[in-house]
Structure 1
Amino acid sequence: MKYTLRQLEVFLATAFHENLTRAADSLAMSQSAASSALRDLESQFEVQLFDRVGKRLQLNELGRSIRPRAQALLEQANGLEAALAGHEEIGHLRVGATMSVGNYIAVGIMTRYMLEQPGARVELEVANTSSIVRKLVNFELDLGMIEGETRHPDLKMLYWQEDELVVFCAPDHELAGKPWLTDEDLMQAEWIVREQGSGTRQNFEWALHGLLPQLNIKLELQHTEAIKRAVEAGLGVGCLSAITLGDAFRRGTLVPLPVPHRDFKRGLYFVRHRNKFISAGMRRWLELCQEESN
């Protein structure tokens, strides 16, 4: 074998940091040692994996093509090492979750995971779907939990559970109390919705297909709570996951608006890179998520 696992570590760290000094620091190596490892990897195969742009090292086409396989190989080697040592550590996880899932479901799962595994650490990043997808593709996250679907060829999706969007307003809004909303009501309403790139916005647009050009989008906000506050203040009508609205409906600060002729159901999904090694920690996290949904 012409390459070493250490060379792959340097290659992947450099791809992530786009800087050899920061890559060396992340691996607790000297810059000269990291530079030598990367130079040896390229020279052994007479290839160039990076384009040098000033002080940045950007993956070229060849580098991008082998990165997922190098990542998978290194993670499998680490898993094999743990198995040979007689234990498979359940530890550090990097999880990305979209707003509804991250703020209303994932925190509870994270608590169970960390209580079950003393010393385990979970980095939970809450962002919109497009941001989660981008970081999964770049191996910056181990696992994603998203609303709606992604068709990125490098990612694999696993259905988790059903969810549903709910149209809602303040209790003193003119639409409150109507037995159901017509398409005419939907077009006349002033909407406060999630931003482009979010799974909730994607599902909202799918549910209201055919009406989008006529909808009055008054505000686009990135945060679920901000949308709820704006709707409570009477600024318009919102549409969010049922997961996020239960407390407000029980308090009576917001009320649901039935739209029976439109399909607001959607799925919640787990997402990972196709070449991502499934660690013991990832498996246990998925088990806890399934327990939560039962």
Structure 2
Amino acid sequence: MRYTLRQLEVFVAVARQESVSRAAEALSMSQSATSTALAELEKQFDTRLFDRYGKRLQLNELSRQLLPRAIELLDRAGQIESLLTGDTGIGPLSIGASLTIGNYLATLLVGDFMRQHPGCRVQMSVHNTATIVRQVAHLEVDVGLIEGDFQHPDLEVLPWIPDELVVFAAPGHPLAKLDSVSMDDLVAAPWILREAGSGTRQTFDYAMRHVASNLDIRLELEHTEAIKRAVESGLGIGCISRLALKEAFRRGSLVPLNVPGLDLQRMFHFVLHKQKFRTAGVEAFIALCRAVSQGVRRSDEIVLPGPDGQPVHYL
């Protein structure tokens, strides 16, 4: 072959970092060695892999096609090396989780995964759904856990478990005293909602699409805990996952509102890049997620055993 795995490793690092100096730091190489490896790869094939904008390097059309294949080859090479050295454990794993899943499910799932696979290194990022989708599309994480649904030509979306949003209020709110709440009541009330780009907001906007232009949206926040505090203080009503409200409902600090006919069902999904090699770690993590949700009707019913063998509820 006219290229080496080290050259591909440098290419992938530069593609992810968009900088030779940052790639060198990530690879623990000198900047000159990193720059030389990239230059030799381009020279051997008489091609350019990046468009240069000052010190910033941006993928061109060829390198965008090359990147997922290079990552797959490096992942497979890593597995071969593990077999040759007798290391049959799970390799490193990077996970991206949208905010509701990340804050209320993924941390405990990762904890259980690491107990089952001692020595495995896991990196997890928690952002809104749009950001996680972008990270998976750019091959920055191995697997994403997201809320809602979407379409992307480079990504595969696999259903995981049903979830449900719920409209809620503080116990002293006038709507909390009603047996059922009408759509007119919702239009008249001030709202505290998740930001645009989140899976929660996507589901809410679709459910309320016929009256969306009439809603009184007072505040948009990125974090569900902040929304809960704002609603508790009487600033308005909200709509987030029942998963995030389980403990608040149990304590009585917040109460669900009954809105007949309002469909707030959705799914949690796994999202993977179609061209990225699925390592043993990715397969094992998805298998764990499916195992703990087997027979469960909705996300807020998931329970995991803790270190002492006793059930650990996610909220």
TM-score by length of 1: 0.95
Between the aligned partners of 2:72 and 2:9, the Cα distance in structure 1 is 11
Is the Cα contact below 8 Å between 1:71 and 1:275 reproduced in 2?
no
Please give the secondary structure, in 2, of the residue aligned with 1:151.
coil
Deviations 1:72-111 (A, max 9, x none): 2221222233344444331422111111111111111111
More displaced 10-residue stretch of structure 1: 11-20 or 30-39? 30-39
More displaced 10-residue stretch of structure 1: 124-133 or 36-45? 36-45
Name structure 2 gaps, 5 residues minimum: 295-315
Is the Cα contact below 8 Å between 2:96 and 2:125 reproduced in 1?
yes
Which amino acid letter does the alignment assign opposite residue 283 of structure 2?
A: R
TM superposition shift of 1:186: 1.6
Between the aligned partners of 1:147 and 1:187, the Cα distance in structure 2 is 25
Between the aligned partners of 1:153 and 1:68, the Cα distance in structure 2 is 14
- Which residue pairs with 1:68 in the alignment? 68
- Which residue pairs with 1:16 in the alignment? 16
Name structure 1 gaps, 5 residues minimum: none
Between the aligned partners of 1:83 and 1:217, the Cα distance in structure 2 is 56
Is the Cα contact below 8 Å between 1:91 and 1:117 reproduced in 2?
no
Is the Cα contact below 8 Å between 1:200 and 1:240 reproduced in 2?
yes
Between the aligned partners of 2:194 and 2:207, the Cα distance in structure 1 is 14
Between the aligned partners of 2:11 and 2:22, the Cα distance in structure 1 is 12
- Which residue pairs with 1:182 in the alignment? 182
More displaced 10-residue stretch of structure 1: 109-118 or 218-227? 109-118
- Which residue pairs with 2:252 in the alignment? 252
Deviations 1:137-157 (A, max 9, x none): 222211111100121222111
TM superposition shift of 1:280: 1.4
Q: Give the total of aligned pairs.
A: 294
Quote the sequence identity (%): 53
Is the Cα contact below 8 Å between 2:169 and 2:236 reproduced in 1?
yes
TM superposition shift of 1:22: 2.3
TM-score by length of 2: 0.89
Say yes or no: does 1:110 pair with 2:123: no
Is the Cα contact below 8 Å between 2:160 and 2:269 reproduced in 1?
yes
Q: Structure 2 matches for 1:81-100, cutoff 5 A?
A: 81-100=81-100
Between the aligned partners of 2:80 and 2:120, the Cα distance in structure 1 is 20
More displaced 10-residue stretch of structure 1: 79-88 or 148-157? 79-88
Which amino acid letter does the alignment assign opposite residue 268 of structure 2?
A: L
- Which residue pairs with 2:300 in the alignment? none
Deviations 1:255-293 (A, max 9, x none): 111122121000000111112211111122112211221
Between the aligned partners of 2:157 and 2:136, the Cα distance in structure 1 is 12
Which amino acid letter does the alignment assign opposite residue 287 of structure 1?
A: A
Which amino acid letter does the alignment assign opposite residue 222 of structure 2?
A: Q
TM superposition shift of 1:28: 2.8
Which amino acid letter does the alignment assign opposite residue 98 of structure 1?
A: S
Between the aligned partners of 2:88 and 2:42, the Cα distance in structure 1 is 33
Which amino acid letter does the alignment assign opposite residue 153 of structure 1?
A: P
Say yes or no: does 1:233 pair with 2:233: yes
Between the aligned partners of 2:258 and 2:235, the Cα distance in structure 1 is 19
Between the aligned partners of 2:64 and 2:223, the Cα distance in structure 1 is 33
Between the aligned partners of 2:218 and 2:283, the Cα distance in structure 1 is 42
Which amino acid letter does the alignment assign opposite residue 30 of structure 2?
A: S
Say yes or no: does 1:49 pair with 2:49: yes
TM superposition shift of 1:190: 0.8
More displaced 10-residue stretch of structure 1: 167-176 or 52-61? 52-61
Is the Cα contact below 8 Å between 2:89 and 2:117 reproduced in 1?
no
TM superposition shift of 1:207: 1.0
